[in-house]
A = this chain, B = another copy of it.
Amino acid sequence: MKRPAVDVCFTPREIRPVEIAVVVDVLRATSTIVQAFAVGYSRVVCCKSVATARELRAPGRVLAGENACVRVPDFELGNSPAVMASDGRRGEEIVLATTNGSPAVVAASRAAERVLIASLLNLRPVVAALPTDADVAIVCSGTDGRPALEDVYVAGRLVAALGRVPSDAARVAERVAGGYGAPLEPLAASEDGARLRATGQERDISWCARESVLELVPEVWSTSDGTAAVGAPRKA
């Protein structure tokens, strides 16, 4: 019997066909997605672009997303999990368009048989949800095509918890995770952390650094051109 493997893609550009992809954009898209289900939304439609999200405007749908870290002006919500939590549910589903995370979910959906959504908020439930015999690729959303420290950290935490045969990239991520104490440290030290501080959204950094506080494992249910619909969080 083959031993299942774990790989890490530092950016979505590296995605290759795989049984299960686990998408990470801890600052902030995948944290926002997990938080959306926690406040009661039934679906999150991840879009490859802001334009795609606008086309999906409809009653019951709440448009959320950012451009250069700040809310798209005509969208109801930005990409802040902290605001999502305090705001409560405003409709049935979220239509999400962010710079890196939502396109990464769409890209992963084209390459993997199953796509799960991971953040620190739901770290342990994601690990528990992964079948032990499947090959897994952890897809870091990165930032504008470059690796993001905080995503590599979370990928490394997943690699360490999964215990499969690691690729070199998975070993790299695992070493990075092992080099930090509390999750807040890499999140705050990252370039994305600096951008959030510069735009007055530092609350999201500590919000997203909380570990395994939500028992939710969002998964892509269906895809269409330029979107991936995420739903059915299972209680782990």
Contact = CB atoms under 8 A, between A and B. Distances in A.
Contact of A149 (B143, B171, B192): B171
Interface stretch (A90-98, A127-135, A174-182): A174-182
Interface in A177-202: 178-180, 189-192
Taking each of A175, A176, A191, which has the highest tally of chain B beta carbons within 10 Å of its own beta carbon? A175
B176 A147 contact: no
Q: Is the interface of A mostly helix, strand, loop or mixed?
A: helix
A203 interface: no
A13 interface: yes
Interface residues of A, number: 24
A52 B14 CA distance: 27
Interface string A139-152: 00001011111001
Interface string A188-222: 01111000000000000000000000000000000
B189 A171 contact: yes
A147 B175 contact: no
A172 B156 CA distance: 11
A10 interface: yes
Contact of A10 (B147, B149, B180): B147
Interface in A1-15: 10, 13-14
Contact of A191 (B146, B148, B167): B167
Contacts of A113: none
Nearest to A192: B168
Nearest to A190: B168
Given A10-B10, A146-B14, A172 B167 contact: no
A14 B171 CA distance: 20
Nearest to A177: B175
Given A10-B10, A10-B147, A13-B13, A191 B168 contact: yes
Given A148-B168, A152-B168, A179-B179, 5 more contacts: A14-B146, A147-B172, A152-B172, A168-B191, A172-B176
20 contacts: A10-B147, A10-B172, A13-B13, A143-B168, A146-B169, A147-B168, A147-B169, A148-B168, A149-B168, A149-B171, A149-B172, A152-B168, A152-B172, A167-B191, A172-B176, A175-B175, A175-B176, A175-B179, A175-B180, A176-B179
